[in-house]
Structure 1
Amino acid sequence: MGVGYQMVNWSRRERISFAHLPVNTRREICGNPVSASIVAWYLATRQGDEVQFVPDQGEWPFPHGSLEEALTYTDVTDTVIQELIGAQILRDDGIEWADTDEPDSVHIRAIKNIWMDGEP
């Protein structure tokens, strides 16, 4: 498995962990229409902030702070998904997959990018 990434906004002390989405690596984040929409929307609506993709292993990209500190930042993945649902770009179809032993914490959401489909 490749290096996993999250997006960290040092200015606002926020992060997008991509939790419960089927993405982790740079390639997956860029290639998945849902996560690509999350990234584009987040950057477009928070212009001027210090935002970087941070690997789960390797060098910290900011001149200040640390990965350990970033893990305490507010995870806004769900908030941004809700913003995109409100903008009729994404749709939440519930749970795509859940672990039978831990369905509340180990699951993948069924989020779909509907913008090009013209679906409400």
Structure 2
Amino acid sequence: MGVQYELVNIDKKEVISFSGVDTGTKLRELAGTIVASNIITWYLLQNIGDRISFIDDMTESLILFGSLYSRNAFATYQDVTFQTIDQLVEADVLRRVGTKWIDEEEGLSYEVLQNIWDPALPDNK
């Protein structure tokens, strides 16, 4: 299945999980998806100076910023993925374009987002 990542902010006890967003959570997906890059960059710029790192779902003990953390230490962090997306939509960087259903019976879906700011993209000219 592969290693999955999420972004954690130790100082604010927040996480960007990308859960419910059609970006993926693996290394290539996060680095190669424009929307994931938008979310990550926006969050980092809004939280300059905070202790922020990516963590993976395979490592049980992590050393971050000189301290040892159990993976479970981040389970109570507030997921601010959609708050960050709301900010990007308000700033006219992203647009909500629909829902991609994975399993309607289970209610599993992803929000589909589109970058609308980048003038280098053909659809944004």
**If the length of structure 2 is used for normalisation, what is the TM-score?**
0.86
Once the two structures are overlaid, the 10-residue window that deviates more, 90-99 or 77-86, is 90-99
Please show how residues 16-55 of structure 1 align to structure 2 within 5 Å.
16-22=16-22, 23-55=24-56
CA–CA distance in structure 1, aligned partners of residues 8 and 56 of structure 2: 10
Q: Structure 2 unaligned segments of length 5 or more: list them.
A: 119-123
1:100 lines up with 2:101 in the alignment: no
**Aligned with 2:82 (options 61, 78, 83):** 78
Q: Does the 8 Å contact 1:94/1:110 carry over to 2?
A: yes
Gaps of 5+ in 1: none
Whether the 8 Å contact between 1:5 and 1:25 is mirrored in structure 2 is yes
Q: Can you list the C-alpha shifts for 1:7-30, whole angstroms capped at 9, x where unaligned? A: 000000000000112311011011
The count of aligned residue pairs is 116
Deviation at 1:64, TM superposition (A): 4.0
- Does the 8 Å CA contact 2:63/2:69 hold for their aligned counterparts? no
Contact 1:52 1:61 in 2 (8 A): no
CA distance in 2, matches of 1:49, 1:64: 17
1:15 aligned partner: 15
List per-residue Cα deviations over 1:31-82 (Å, max 9, x = no partner): 1111110000000110000000000012524214322121110000000000
Q: Between Structure 1 and Structure 2, which shows a larger proportion of strand residues?
A: 2
Cα displacement (A) at 1:98: 3.6
- Correspondence 1:89 to 2:93: yes
TM-score when scaled to structure 1? 0.90
